[in-house]
Amino acid sequence: MLRPIRRALLSVSDKTGLIDFARELVTKYGVELIATGGTRKAIADAGLPVKDISELTKFPEILDGRVKTLHPAIYAGLLAKRDKPEHMSTLTEHSLPEIDLVVCNLYPFEQTVAKPGVTEAEAIENIDIGGPCMVRAAAKNFASVAIVTSPLQFKMVLSDLETNKGCTTRQLRAALASNAFSRIARYDIAIADYFASANGVDPNQLPHTLLTSFEAQQGLRYGENPHQEAAFYVEPNINRPCVSTAEQLHGKELSYNNILDLDSALNLAREFAGPACVVVKHNNPCGAAVSAKLVDAFNAAWDGDPLSAFGGIIAFNRPVDADTASALMDPKAKRFVECVIAPDYEPHALDALKKWKENVRLLRTGELTGGPQGLDYRRVDGGLLVQTRDTGADNPDSWKCVTKRQPTEAEWHALHFAWFVCKHVKSNAIVLAKDTRVVGVGAGQMSRVVSVEIAVKKAGENSKGSVLASDAFFPFPDNVHAAAAAGVTAIIQPGGSVKDKDSIEACDQHGIAMLFTGVRHFRH
């Protein structure tokens, strides 16, 4: 059903596009404008006729503007059903005008609390009361009233008015109402999150009722497969360095699988204090290394499994320098990579990489500080699995050697490195490493010993003298025997199997040192 716009109430914090929109309403459709405070002043200063809201309510704004729209004269004009004679008679009896359009985008609470050092007083003063009430009232009566909550909606409203000679369609009003209720929900979640944080509630604590709010950042060409639709949604006002806030500097648009792999690669790269490089393929690291120089870390990571690295994702935990970029672009290597993500790029390195491949995606995160934060979600049919993130559980000082032979200092450093790589490999996970570089990975197998066999096959001759990390305990000693046959000299695993004794005896039999961490790192 078409509804004419004769009178509009405007009360906005974000005045982007406001004057042009108001001018169209007045000059093209003769709409009467009513506005509050700063909104009224902005419209009047532009030379447009506008009434102050107090002319409608016959009551001034009070309490420093805290009370201005909470008045029956406003809500009667918003909520009256135009097709109900009793409602219309009430408006006539009390000389209350109908309001056909509301433009309200709320106080900028989210932006305010995102500022460093914001005080509680500042935050509370930016909690809008009248705005959400007015938005909800207009949205509830969408059969007659149009509610605009974002400057991005001005264009579609004007287009609807143009097409329908000053009227809006029910379809548009319903869509605007849906967006309005969604906006109010996100606003309330932001306020609830602020109060939780301000009162010391741990963001990693599992809540009784889970409130989530994510905003669409970009549409994606498709999901994991071409027949699936997809988009990338991010937490509002997130400002920590991660895939969600990374700036794309070059290359074609990201895909669903790119984003998954970038997140995995970056989260592993940031585990290490020294210059590190990680190569990820199909959400598993196929190469990883730490070295004194970033270029050496890159070369060692790529050499971990050059075959799998083809078409992979590369993550660095240091700015990419000219030497590293040159090694990546080496024409003899004929490398193909989908994406590179790093804290930054030296100017010459960035220029060279942009010229190297037209489609390679280059992303910049800014300096990496800390690790992933907040709760970890995974959707299942009809529900949501929620857990705290797999961070902070490891304490190398508590690792225990359970074999007769202690690991050498070199083996200990290699075991430490392999353990943190293994944490990021799909279960059942096995990682072989030498020094601080991966030489073989076995991932995602139903049998742990098969993961050992795959890692050994990937490593080839490099398995001799390597160390092995397992994300969970060995159920049987066959894993140890397979590792020993490949030349593994030391093992790190959580321990906790009923057959731990058998695995320890097998290690002693082969002269292998083994550490128990007491921590499991399944990744399904």
CA–CA dist 34, 32 (Å, integer): 7
CA–CA dist 31, 216 (Å, integer): 33
Mapping DSSP to helix (H, G, I), strand (E, B) and coil, where does residue 414 land? helix
Q: How many CB atoms lie within 10 A of CB 239?
A: 11
Whether omega before 237 lies within 30 degrees of 0, making that bond cis, reads no
Question: What is the 8-class DSSP label of residue 463?
Answer: G
| CA-to-CA separations, 189 to 73, 192, 196, 377, 449, in angstroms, rounded | 30, 5, 10, 17, 47
Q: Are 88 and 94 in contact (CB under 8 A)?
A: no
Q: Are 287 and 436 in contact (CB under 8 A)?
A: no
Whether 457 is catalytic is no
The residues that bridge with 433 in the sheet, in sequence order, are 438, 467
The active-site residue, picked from 51, 140, 413, 510, is 140
Whether 140 is catalytic is yes
Question: What is the 8-class DSSP label of residue 31?
Answer: P
The active-site residue, picked from 51, 71, 87, 282, is 282
Q: Are 317 and 343 in contact (CB under 8 A)?
A: yes
Distance of CA 396 to the CA centre of its chain: 30
Q: What are phi and psi of 424, to 5 degrees?
A: -105, 10
Instruction: Point out the residues that are catalytic.
Output: 140, 282
